[in-house]
Amino acid sequence: MSGIYLIDVTNRDGVQTAHLGLSKLEKTMINMYLNEMGVFQSEFGFPTTRHEQYYLQANLELAETGVLKPIRLGGWIRAVVDDVEKAFKLVPGLQHVNLSISTSDQMIQGKFQGAKSRDDVVSMMVDALEAARSHGTQSIGVNAEDASRTDTDFLITFASAVKEHGAQRFRYCDTLGYDNPFTIYQSTRTVAENVGIPIELHCHGDLGMAVANSIAGAKGAIDGGQDAYINTTINGIGERAGNADLVATVLAVTKSKGFAEKYQLAKPVDLKKAWKISRFASYAFEVPVPINQPGVGANAFAHESGIHADGVLKDPHNYELYSFDEVGRGEPELVETGREICSGEYSGISGFKHVMGKIEVSFENATQAEEVLELARYANVEAQKPLIEDELLFIAKYPKIVRKLLTLIPPEPTHS
Ligand SMILES: [Zn+2]
């Protein structure tokens, strides 16, 4: 029986969202939290983007040394041979990639303006795929951008070609959130049955159905005999109305009526980490979690009306599908109500030692403390808000890695 894997794309789709961004340290923390949670893969960034290169390299080092393990780190690349070559030049250790090209007539016409045909799209992808394979990659996913508006026969032709050339997965992108659970089920099942390739579901929420479409698409893939890989983002942050929310997707797969009996996560996910990862993403993106967010919203376990309160007090199952501790809630949280000393880009050693002492980090000597403080200052330049405990602990534990991921060197000008 095939299963469902999660590929979180917060560090790619989430950060490319208008008005939002993350520091390189925040992106790294997200990879760490996703790994702790048991997510299969993190789409960790853009290997052709120069300012990502040291962050991506540093995270691959964390993977090699077993810190970021077993999670896979995948880069997103346009299906252009030059881009693939540039990616492997900037980030040589890249093992997992997704290559992307538009497949709908709307986008082939609208973006390439008549310069490319469907056949050109297939051959561009195949060339990019061969280029990526020549670098010894472990896995390659191939993205059909705007798959939901692509003619199904062409999707089959495209997916068959990439399978023949060694792609491991086919990403069905409902780029505009146009599908509904009924249509995406048909499409993914048809591709799975006709091509025989594992299918990724990449769904957006423009019509409010990102999670529903993701699990319907996964069901289509599995009923068609293939594994399904659902793309998620933390708190659903992503282009426009966002992507399938990570926590809501796990809840939908594991708790929804009749689903979990037949369709299961291929790899267990620790839902108890939901609260922490959601809170961190909210802090890092500076986007509050909606009060009615599944599992992690302030109202997710709040009851006021007489009938509901009475019912839930008698037996929580009367009005709750799952318990708050299953999503990692219920622990008291300390909120500073008096004096606060926090880390910043202009912090000094005395305040810094105080902050680190509070989280029980001590230094061997003054030099070491100064070094870690300097890194924390640089991390603050990017974050522009106080670092959280886990970030400070991470800096103290992996100073060399942090130095690398914070490195930003703009290229030399090519003309004077
Ligand atoms: Zn997207």
Answer with the residue of higher pLDDT: 135 or 353: 135
Q: Could you report the per-residue pLDDT of 277-327, keeping only the tens digit for each?
A: 999 999 999 999 999 999 999 999 998 888 888 888 888 898 899 999 999
**Distance from residue 244's CA to the centre of ligand 1 (Å):** 10
**Distance from residue 357's CA to the centre of ligand 1 (Å):** 42
Which residue, 253, 256, 380, 269, is CA-closest to 327?
Answer: 269
Which residue, 243, 221, 218, 220, is CA-closest to 233?
Answer: 243
CA distance 218 to 271: 20
CA distance 392 to 372: 9
Q: Say if residues 129 and 142 touch (Cβ distance below 8 Å).
A: yes
**Distance from residue 14's CA to the centre of ligand 1 (Å):** 8
pLDDT of residue 343: 81
CA distance 61 to 59: 5
Which residue, 39, 34, 73, 72, is CA-closest to 276?
Answer: 34
Does 128 have pLDDT greater than 80? yes
Percent of the chain with pLDDT over 70: 100
CA distance 62 to 45: 15
CA distance 361 to 368: 12
Q: Could you report the per-residue pLDDT of 222-267, keeping only the tens digit for each?
A: 999 999 999 999 999 999 999 999 999 999 999 999 999 889 999 9
Residue-averaged pLDDT of the chain: 94
**Distance from residue 174's CA to the centre of ligand 1 (Å):** 8
Tell me which of 113-127, 236-250, 340-354 is least confident. 340-354
Residues with CB under 5 A from ligand 1 (ion): 13
In the 8-state DSSP scheme, what is residue 117?
A: -
In sequence order, the 6+-apart residues with CB closer than 8 A to the CB of 400 are none
Q: Say if residues 58 and 28 touch (Cβ distance below 8 Å).
A: yes
pLDDT of residue 362: 84
**Distance from residue 145's CA to the centre of ligand 1 (Å):** 9
Q: Could you report the per-residue pLDDT of 187-234, keeping only the tens digit for each?
A: 999 999 999 999 999 999 999 999 999 999 999 999 999 999 999 999
**Distance from residue 210's CA to the centre of ligand 1 (Å):** 11
From residue 76, give the alpha-carbon distance in Å to each of 11, 228, 406: 10, 19, 21
**Distance from residue 287's CA to the centre of ligand 1 (Å):** 19
Per-residue pLDDT averaged across 66-81, rounded?
98
pLDDT of residue 416: 66
| Three-state DSSP state, 1 | coil
CA angle 37–13–134, rounded 5-degree value: 90
Does 90 have pLDDT greater than 70? yes
pLDDT of residue 355: 85
Helices 366-383, 349-358: axis angle to 10 degrees equals 90
Which residue, 352, 182, 154, is CA-closest to 170?
Answer: 154
CA distance 202 to 206: 13
Q: Say if residues 210 and 245 touch (Cβ distance below 8 Å).
A: yes
Q: For strand 72-78 and strand 139-145, is the pairing parallel, antiparallel, or unpaired?
A: unpaired
Residue owning tokens 């909120």: 335
**Distance from residue 146's CA to the centre of ligand 1 (Å):** 10
| Three-state DSSP state, 228 | strand
Q: Say if residues 64 and 42 touch (Cβ distance below 8 Å).
A: no
From residue 48, give the alpha-carbon distance in Å to each of 53, 68, 345, 356, 401: 8, 22, 29, 36, 20
Does 339 have pLDDT greater than 90? no
**Distance from residue 208's CA to the centre of ligand 1 (Å):** 14
What pairs with residue 203 in β-bridges? 174
